[in-house]
Structure 1
Amino acid sequence: MTRNDENQEPARETFEKKTGVAHLFAAGQYSMQGFRRLVQESAFRHELLALGAGLVLFAIIGASLVEFLGFVVLMAILFSIEALNTAIEELVDRISPEISTVGRNAKDLGSFAVFCLLVANGLYVTYVVIFRAFID
């Protein structure tokens, strides 16, 4: 019995799991590929600009090292959530290109997660600026 091409499974690439130091370098490479993909998103580019503007603002108002650290950590969490949101959007678009309630909900939930971190960052920056301007 012969099988035609349309019934056969596509050829799979051989994947060799790396271990030790090679795994560390591979993980770094994968992370850089993710970063390059994320930079293509305008929302992420705006968030990078916000990071730069926030650092300049904190320097101007004389924020403490702990305040700088808090801002950078919150921005790193925002970047992580933005990356996860982008991953969700890409998967939904790939798996379910047609408009569906489940796909819309998944995208909306990812967007809400990003929104929550944007609000947290905004509140933190507002707190630090007010604290430095009026209390300190």
Structure 2
Amino acid sequence: MTEGASRPSPPAESPYKSVGGLGRIANALRYSLRGLVQAVRVESAFRQELILAAVLVPAAVLLPLPALETVALIAAVMLVLIVELINSSIEAAIDRISFDHHRLSGRAKDLGSAAVFLALVLCAVTWVLVAGPALQALLA
């Protein structure tokens, strides 16, 4: 290459990938909100967990607990929603590829389901261990 000549820029990873700036932030917010709306419309498990969150998050705030314990309760609930969204994404991608049964497709869906189950177990254990004593003290 001669001096002063510029190197050609490498091709973009994806023609749909944004480059940055405020536009990227606005697009990310729009896509995220669209994803949440789709999850509420299409995913019954997400709707059920959202109802659970609508009860548990205010309960966590109202319980007389230290701030970090309140955060732990809310985080456990939010983790369930996050993992459910990822599981729904996996299921949608698998179904987009094919509705035919394939052992790897089944494995991917089962692993996603197992992740949701573990998040629910973590949520339940967190609530029993953290909120349980506070609830017991309120009821005594």
Instruction: Sort the TM-score into its range (normalised by shorter chain).
Output: 0.7 to 0.9
Matched, 1:32 2:30: no
C-alpha separation between the residues in 1 aligned to 2:29 and 2:23? 10
Superposition RMSD in Å: 1.9
C-alpha separation between the residues in 2 aligned to 1:131 and 1:71? 13
Evaluate the alpha carbon distance shift between residue 101 and residue 76 of structure 1 in structure 2; reply closer, same or farther with a 3 A threshold.
Answer: same
Unaligned runs of 5+ in 2: 1-14
Evaluate the alpha carbon distance shift between residue 16 and residue 46 of structure 1 in structure 2; reply closer, same or farther with a 3 A threshold.
Answer: closer
Equivalent AA in structure 1 for residue 57 of structure 2:
L
Between the aligned residues of both structures, percent identity stands at 28
Equivalent AA in structure 2 for residue 74 of structure 1:
A
C-alpha separation between the residues in 2 aligned to 1:62 and 1:126? 15
* TM-score, reference length from structure 2: 0.76
C-alpha separation between the residues in 2 aligned to 1:15 and 1:129? 45
C-alpha separation between the residues in 2 aligned to 1:18 and 1:60? 43
Assess if the C-alpha contact under 8 Å between 2:60 and 2:74 holds in 1. no
* TM-score, reference length from structure 1: 0.78
Unaligned runs of 5+ in 1: 1-13
Residue 120 of structure 1: aligned partner: 122
What is the aligned residue count? 121
Alignment match of 1:45 (pick from 44, 47, 53): 47
**Which aligned segments of 4 or more residues in structure 1 are displaced greater than 4 angstroms?**
none
